[in-house]
Amino acid sequence: MSSGDGTAGGSPGRRPGESGPYPLQADATDPATETIGYRGPTACAAAGITYRQLDYWARTGLVEPSVRPAYGSGTQRLYSFRDVVVLKIVKRFLDTGVALQNIRTTVQHLRARGFRDLERMTLMSDGATVYECSSPDEVVDLLQGGQGVFGIAVGVVWRDVEAALSQLHGERVDTGETLIGHNPTDELARRRRDRAV
């Protein structure tokens, strides 16, 4: 099955072109996606990957930072929230043994989807092909066809990344100002210091 654009991840029962073209940029209804970026170490922590993986994936074009690429020695890559969600999805697929070429095709498909679409999507795989399902009925159809072996609910990954990033530092794209995340352990340490004084 395909989405009509030659990529893996087409929804079962969806005709080519039925989902419509989606911009490569984040949906305009979510401006926060472009105003805050996350440096490499923060993206790694939220996605559960190593810096070595992050660097390799950026250099090979698997998942490149959409906010700011590295321009050489000393510059910092800046990843968007959506980039970090994709990084975590890539890690989950690699952990389950999906071939890198299929993951690469899936990443291209995810980048072509609207920002809001990702939150409602489930990605299913039989280990060889990745399928996109946007409703419970499509998941059931795929499983009944014997094609799906495991699935990734993108909305769950989305919320996991959102929770992780809320405790980590971000950076305003326009000013470069560091935004301090709310880390409950930092709050506890601050309260203990305040009581000790």
Q: DSSP assignment of the chain, as one string?
A: ---SSS-S-PPTTPPTTTT----SSPPTT-THHHHEEEEHHHHHHHHT--HHHHHHHHHTTSS--SSB---STTPPPEE-HHHHHHHHHHHHHHHTT--HHHHHHHHHHHHTS-HHHHHT-EEEE-SS-EEEE-SHHHHHHHHHTT--SEEEEHHHHHHHHHHHHHTS-EEETTT-PEEPP--HHHHHHHHHHHHH-
Highest mean pLDDT among 40-54, 100-114, 132-146, 160-174: 40-54
pLDDT in tens, 56-69: 999 999 999 999 88
Q: What percent of the chain has pLDDT over 70?
A: 72
State pTM to two decimals.
0.72
Chain segment 107-154, per-residue pLDDT in tens? 988 888 766 677 778 888 877 778 888 888 888 887 887 766 788 888
Bigger pLDDT: 183 vs 99: 99
**Are the CB atoms for 79 and 62 separated by under 8 Å?**
no
Percent of the chain with pLDDT over 90: 30
**Residue 196 predicted with pLDDT over 70:** no
For the CA atoms of the chain, what is the radius of gyration? 18
Band of the pLDDT at 34, cuts 50, 70, 90? Answer: low
Task: Note the pLDDT of residue 194.
Answer: 62
For the chain, what is the mean pLDDT? 75
Answer whether residue 33 shows pLDDT above 60. Answer: no
